[in-house]
Structure 1
Amino acid sequence: MLDADKFLRSLFDAALAAADPARCLGPFLPAPPKPPGRTIVVGAGKAAATMARAVEQAWPEDAPLSGVVVTRYGHGVPCRRITVREASHPVPDAAGAAAAAEILQAVQGLSAQDLVLCLISGGGSALLALPAEGLSLADKKAVNQALLASGATIAEMNCLRKHLSAIKGGRLAMAAAPAKVVALLISDVPGDDPAVIASGPTVADPTSFADARAVLEKYRITPPPGVTTHLQRGMDETAKPGDPRLAGVQNIMVATPQMALEAAAQAARAAGIAPLILGDALEGEARELGIVMAGIARQVRRHGQPLPAPCVLLSGGETTVTIRKQPPDAPKGRGGRNSEFLLSLAVKLEGEAGIHALACDTDGIDGSEDNAGAILHPDSIAQAAAKGVNAKAALAANNGYGFFQAAGGLVQTGPTLTNVNDFRAILVLPDTGAAPY
Structure 2
Amino acid sequence: MPSDAPLQNPRAFLTTLFEAAVAEAQPGLRIPSCLPQPPRGRVLVVGAGKAAAQMARALEACWTGPSLRGLVVVPHGHEVAAGAIEVLHASHPVPDDSSVKAALRMKALVSGLTADDLVIALFSGGGSALSVEPASGISLRDKQLLNQALLNSGASISEMNCVRRQVSAIKGGQLAAACHPARVCTLLISDVPGDHPEDIASGPTVADPSDAAMALDIVRRYRLQLPEPVLAHLQSGVATTIKADDPRLEGHEVHMIATPQQSLQAAAEVARRHGIPAHVLSDRFEGEARDMGGMLAALASQIAQRGEPFARPCVLLSGGESTVTLSGSRPYEGRGGRNVECALALALALRGQPGVYALMADTDGVDGQEPVAGAFVAPDTLRRAHALGVLPQRSLDAHDGHGFFGALGDAFVTGPTHTNVNDFRAVLVL
TM-score normalised by the chain length of structure 2 = 0.96
Q: 1:255 pairs with 258, 273, 286, which one?
A: 258
Q: Does the Cα contact within 8 Å between 2:211 and 2:239 map onto a contact in 1?
A: no
Where does structure 1 lack aligned partners over 5 or more consecutive residues?
A: 430-437
Where does structure 2 lack aligned partners over 5 or more consecutive residues?
A: none
- How far 1:363 moved relative to its partner? 0.5
1:233 aligns with 2:236: yes
RMSD after superposition = 1.3
- How far 1:97 moved relative to its partner? 0.6
Q: Does the Cα contact within 8 Å between 1:324 and 1:398 map onto a contact in 2?
A: no
Q: 1:79 pairs with 66, 76, 82, which one?
A: 82
Could you tell me which residue of structure 1 aligns to residue 352 of structure 2?
A: 351
- How far 1:204 moved relative to its partner? 1.0
Q: Which stretch of the first structure deviates more once superposed, 145-154 or 399-408?
A: 399-408
Q: Does the Cα contact within 8 Å between 1:208 and 1:237 map onto a contact in 2?
A: no
Could you tell me which residue of structure 2 aligns to residue 337 of structure 1?
A: 338
Could you tell me which residue of structure 1 aligns to residue 43 of structure 2?
A: 39
Note the alpha carbon deviations across 1:4-50, whole angstroms, 9 max, x for none. Answer: 0110000000000000111111111113213xx11100001000000
Identity over the aligned pairs, expressed in percent?
53
Q: 1:25 pairs with 31, 46, 49, which one?
A: 31
Q: Which runs of 4+ in 1 moved over 6 A?
A: none
Could you tell me which residue of structure 2 aligns to residue 432 of structure 1?
A: none
Quote the Cα distance in structure 2 between the aligned partners of 1:428 and 1:189. 27
Quote the Cα distance in structure 1 between the aligned partners of 2:372 and 2:241. 36
1:55 aligns with 2:59: yes
Quote the Cα distance in structure 1 between the aligned partners of 2:175 and 2:306. 53
Aligned to 1:324, the other structure's residue is in SS state coil
Q: 1:126 pairs with 121, 124, 129, which one?
A: 129
Aligned to 1:139, the other structure's residue is in SS state helix
1:426 aligns with 2:430: no
Aligned to 1:277, the other structure's residue is in SS state strand
Quote the Cα distance in structure 1 between the aligned partners of 2:52 and 2:159. 23
Quote the Cα distance in structure 2 between the aligned partners of 1:4 and 1:263. 18
Quote the Cα distance in structure 1 between the aligned partners of 2:60 and 2:149. 38
Quote the Cα distance in structure 2 between the aligned partners of 1:156 and 1:215. 7
Q: Does the Cα contact within 8 Å between 1:383 and 1:406 map onto a contact in 2?
A: no
Quote the Cα distance in structure 1 between the aligned partners of 2:238 and 2:334. 40
Quote the Cα distance in structure 2 between the aligned partners of 1:142 and 1:395. 26
- How far 1:237 moved relative to its partner? 2.6
Q: 1:12 pairs with 18, 26, 44, which one?
A: 18
Note the alpha carbon deviations across 1:381-427, whole angstroms, 9 max, x for none. Answer: 11111111111111111111111112221001111110000000000
Q: Does the Cα contact within 8 Å between 2:176 and 2:205 map onto a contact in 1?
A: yes
Q: Does the Cα contact within 8 Å between 2:172 and 2:242 map onto a contact in 1?
A: yes
Quote the Cα distance in structure 1 between the aligned partners of 2:100 and 2:240. 20
Quote the Cα distance in structure 1 between the aligned partners of 2:175 and 2:75. 20
Could you tell me which residue of structure 2 aligns to residue 201 of structure 1?
A: 204
- How far 1:332 moved relative to its partner? 3.9
1:293 aligns with 2:299: no
Quote the Cα distance in structure 1 between the aligned partners of 2:82 and 2:358. 37
1:101 aligns with 2:101: no
